[in-house]
């Protein structure tokens, strides 16, 4: 019995749903968080003391933190595709998953919250500019990597593309000035061609506009 909790318009949830579909896993999806609520019940808190989504339950294994879930699913069900038993090979992707956690996603999250989730009249334009510049610098770095290979860690899609690629749909739909990054554009087109990306990432986030309450 496999269950994934989390609202579809959370990009942390989207990463997990995207990978689960890439691996053709069967699971029950339970919308939770945001307007669905459900994070403050004792039952949910027992699964995730932080009361956040995504959460995965795979038989007796319960996991939270989107990147920990990605690694678990890949190691358990994606060997040879999304996971290499050779630590040296896996580290080529894993370093970018870590970089996404520590650098790209914090910058993008500041941008998304400061720009899109804050009502226009309340925006701190200096903070938004800074977040935009920081995010653009991250994607500019990826542009250099992607100039010589189609995916972040080489010729095939890896967890790095899921961690760093999930925000792309929002990045390209925000009414902001993006730098010209042709290799990131091409990478985004490659990801858009994948059914699992279309189903789980290319979905409206309009409900989040000007909403800082969850
Ligand atoms: N670092 C965590 C972040 C988890 C997180 O902050 N989740 C947000 C959604 S993106 C959440 O649960 N917010 C409360 C809500 O949706 O009600 C992860 O990657 O899973």
Q: What is the mean pLDDT of each run of 10 residues along the chain (214 residues)?
A: 97 98 98 97 98 98 98 97 97 98 98 97 97 98 98 98 98 97 98 98 97 88
CATH code 1.20.1050.10 region(s) in the chain = 87-204
Tell me which residue of 8, 25, 29, 117 sits closest to 70, measured CA to CA: 25
pLDDT at position 181 is 98
Any ligand 1 atom below 6 A from CB of 166: no
Distance 25 CA to ligand 1 centre (A): 22
Does the 2-77 domain belong in CATH 3.40.50.720?
Answer: no
The arrangement of secondary structure in 87-204, i.e. its CATH architecture, is Up-down Bundle (1.20)
Q: What is the dihedral of CA 185, 167, 96, 138, to 10 degrees?
A: 60
Those residues whose C-beta lies under 8 Å from the C-beta of residue 65, and which sit 6 or more positions away, are none
Ligand 1 atom at minimal distance to the Cα of residue 11: 10
Helix H or strand E encompassing 6: none
CATH code 3.40.30.10 region(s) in the chain = 2-77
Any ligand 1 atom below 6 A from CB of 39: yes
Any ligand 1 atom below 6 A from CB of 68: no
Is the pTM of the predicted complex or chain greater than 0.75? yes
């Amino acid at each position: 019995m496999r269950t994934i909790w989390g609202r579809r318009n959370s990009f942390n949830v989207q990463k997990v749903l995207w990978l689960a579909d890439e691996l053709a896993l069967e699971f029950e999806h339970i919308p939770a968080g945001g307007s669905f609520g459900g994070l403050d019940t004792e039952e949910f808190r027992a699964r995730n003391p932080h009361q956040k989504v995504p959460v995965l339950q795979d038989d007796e294994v319960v996991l939270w933190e989107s990147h920990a879930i990605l690694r678990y699913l890949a190691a358990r069900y994606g060997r040879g595709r999304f996971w290499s038993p050779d630590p040296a090979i896996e580290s080529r992707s894993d370093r970018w998953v870590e970089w996404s956690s520590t650098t790209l996603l914090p910058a993008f999250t500041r941008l998304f919250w400061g720009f899109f989730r804050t009502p226009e009249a309340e925006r701190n334009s200096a903070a938004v500019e800074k977040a935009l510049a920081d995010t653009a610098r991250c994607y500019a770095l990826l542009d250099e990597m992607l100039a010589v290979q189609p995916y972040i860690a080489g010729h095939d899609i890896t967890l790095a593309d899921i961690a760093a690629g999930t925000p792309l749909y929002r990045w390209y739909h925000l009414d902001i000035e993006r730098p010209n990054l042709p290799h990131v554009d091409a990478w985004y087109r490659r990801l858009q061609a994948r059914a699992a990306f279309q189903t789980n990432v290319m979905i409206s986030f309009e409900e989040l506009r000007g909403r800082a309450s969850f």
